[in-house]
Amino acid sequence: MRGILLGLQMLAMVAVYGNAQDTTETVRDFADTSHGEPVYISSRQVENKEITTYSEPYTLFVGAQVGIVSGAVSTETAERRKANPDFWFLPTYGAVITAPISNGSRIRGRLDAGVWTTGTRNRPYEFYGGTSNYEGYFVERYTYFTIAPYVNLSGILVGVGFDFPLKGEMWNPKLDVDPHVVDRSTMKVAMDFRVGGSITAWETDLGILNVELLAYYMFSGVYVDGKYPYGVGATDGRGTVPTNQVELKNQTFKNMIPAGAQLGISYQFKLGL
């Protein structure tokens, strides 16, 4: 009887030891370079089965963006002055950097830096250019070096632009004359609110091509307060402006505050870190 008990005890110890061997986990971490870039592999042996998992390196996106077409209009006009939207090509170009908050995250930070333009069609008074009913107009176009940080939420862009003036021009497209160049000292460092969307149209191991639609509102205005040439309203249909302090006091001086949208593309290279 004593021998039987000893035998059962030995069998139990063997069973426990064998089970412990089956559930022993071994870990071997190494870098696989067969894909061109190091991919970190964790190889685990659980219950005599080897399980291998792959983790991609953190990816930073760096590239260029260009606007294809844009339209904008001044959202404020002085008395007896009007504005229409203006449209033009290649409104912006520059560099773009996108950084996910963590590897694989769809929440990303983005920074754009480059040349950016906005503008409007100004109908300064009723009979401008020998026309009637505000049919005459001239173009206002303002160019900036802009730095714009964004938050990218699964392709939805929300950000702010910091706009440093480079030049401003005004011209009548029906007249063969040189544009009037705006005194840059009258233009302020402007700010605008931006919202839009970025859709991936093509993606490879090298990078991604995005189609982007962006709307903006320059809430700061283009000009230093009181410096916009058309900020004072006309007193009649021929563009006469107030000439004395009493008439000026009865008017609210306006700024040029554009709002608009642009369609463009960006290509960003993938940089694994």
Domain span at residue 37? 23-55
| Displacement of CA 215 from its chain's centroid (Å) | 10
What are the pLDDT digits (tens) for 28-74?
444 545 445 554 445 555 555 555 555 668 899 999 999 999 999 99
**CATH number of the domain residue 195 falls in:** 2.40.160
Indicate whether 31 belongs to any domain.
yes
Rounded CA separation 10/73 (Å): 90
Whether residue 141 sits in one domain with residue 43 = no
Closest CA relative to residue 185, chosen from 163, 198, 167, 197:
167
Whether residue 158 sits in one domain with residue 51 = no
Rounded CA separation 172/138 (Å): 4
Whether residue 51 sits in one domain with residue 82 = no
Whether residue 65 sits in one domain with residue 51 = no
pTM of the model: 0.79
Edge-to-edge strand order for the sheet containing 39-46? 26-32, 39-46, 49-55
271: pLDDT strictly greater than 90: yes
Indicate whether 2 belongs to any domain.
no
Indicate whether 100 belongs to any domain.
yes
Indicate whether 10 belongs to any domain.
no
Give 3-state DSSP helix, strand, coil % of the chain, rounded to 5: 10, 55, 35
What are the pLDDT digits (tens) for 87-144?
999 999 999 999 999 887 889 999 999 999 999 999 999 999 999 999 999 999 999 9
